[in-house]
Amino acid sequence: MIPKHLYRLYEYRISEFADGRLWWDTHSGFGSQIGGPCFVYGSILLIGTRCNEENGFLKLEFNGTLKKLPLWDRTRYFCFASTLLDVSSGRNIREDRLKHRVSLSSMTSTGSKTMIGDNLGAFRLGQYQITIVPDGDISWKSCGGTNRIFGGPVLIESDILFMGPRKFDYPQQNKREFLHSLRTLPQWDRTTFWCRSSAFKPVLPDAKPLLALPPQKKSSIPQKKRMPVKRHRSEYVKQAWFQMTDYCADWVDEVKARWPQRVWPKRKKNRAIGNKID
């Protein structure tokens, strides 16, 4: 079937057919293309699992045709369907269930405030604690190691809860207390799916990534602090070199002074032994 519209999404080509189906394909290997279905779920394009491979263009030719296509603008974000987890079971979602949810869904964009409403408090989602505060901010908390409690921000978009990267530490709480309080919390049921934020990306290439960590400044030693270290080392090397040369010179002078005394008596002794033999 010939696609009705073609779009470009990073290295993917999105094909839209007359019956509403969406298909993605991209270059893979030498002269081959892989592809699979994709679905619009709210404001997110879900890229399905790969299920087809065929002969196609070389990479340079494929990228050349891809650049001529218009950008995908039907959704604001995209995500891989294989990274979504079911809230009720904690397992990966089967594609048939995903198709069913997409067919039932008529949402366009559902954010955090719409999904949570007035339901504030703490909830349990697997090994994570989801906390909603009165100002609308949502965060996650979990444990790791022997006594480490840490957490980060949460974003809800189109019935999917996305957990951001780690940003907070809670040194005042230990692991045992956290796990005990986690068991008493009600189950999280405000969304159908959840996912980690690393799989959640904006469609526009220049858009700022959501829930991203701020860039860390690398600590560099200023040049003024390094100069005294170099001077100290150079002076130490010079001093050590002078001491070594002076020591070697004294040793050479001592060897020269003792050399005739050590050799001459031996030669004289050898002559005396030779005379006795004669």
Identify the residue with better confidence: 124 or 261. 124
Mean pLDDT value across the chain = 79
What pLDDT shows up at residue 264? 46
Least confident piece of the model among 42-46, 55-59, 78-82, 216-220: 216-220
Q: Longest Cα pair distance anywhere in the chain, in angstroms?
A: 127
Identify the residue with better confidence: 129 or 118. 129
Which region holds residue 15: left if phi is over 0, alpha if psi is between -120 and 50, else beta? beta
What pLDDT shows up at residue 110? 54
pLDDT of 160 higher than 70: yes
pLDDT of 245 higher than 60: yes
The Cα 45–Cα 67 span in angstroms is: 20
> pLDDT-derived band of residue 175, with 50, 70 and 90 as boundaries?
confident
Identify the residue with better confidence: 23 or 175. 23
What pLDDT shows up at residue 219? 44
State the Cα angle at 275 between 274 and 277, rounded to 5°: 65
Identify the residue with better confidence: 4 or 57. 4
What pLDDT shows up at residue 100? 83
What pLDDT shows up at residue 257? 63
How far from 122 is each of 88, 130, 151, CA to CA, in Å?
17, 6, 13
pLDDT of 244 higher than 90: no
The Cα 190–Cα 125 span in angstroms is: 11
> pLDDT-derived band of residue 161, with 50, 70 and 90 as boundaries?
very high
Count CB neighbours of 23 within 10 A: 17
What pLDDT shows up at residue 32? 84
What pLDDT shows up at residue 106? 59
pLDDT of 267 higher than 80: no
The position carrying tokens 């003024």 is 224
Which region holds residue 266: left if phi is over 0, alpha if psi is between -120 and 50, else beta? alpha
Identify the residue with better confidence: 135 or 108. 135
